[in-house]
Amino acid sequence: MPAAEVSATLLGYFASSDVELESPATGTVHVTVSRERISRLWASEARERRQRQYAEEFLAALALSGATVRP
């Protein structure tokens, strides 16, 4: 689907995922963005900060592609 049909929101630190994506075709989808293996069992504050950075980079790429990124 075209990126212009997607809207995205960076979720808060205490959410179970980092990003909420919404489009007419898929509805609302929560995703975790990472370049590393995603582990829900072992929490690491450093990994959480890195994943937050990955999510911000992903949203920036979506915005450049024409998606609506909400604060």
* pTM, entire model: 0.85
Measure the CA dihedral 68/56/54/29, to 10°.
-40
**pLDDT of 60 above 90:** yes
Per-domain residue ranges of the chain: 3-70
Confidence (pLDDT) at 48: 84
Confidence (pLDDT) at 46: 87
3-32 pLDDT, tens digit each:
999 999 999 888 888 999 999 999 999 999
Calpha distance 3→28 (Å, rounded): 15
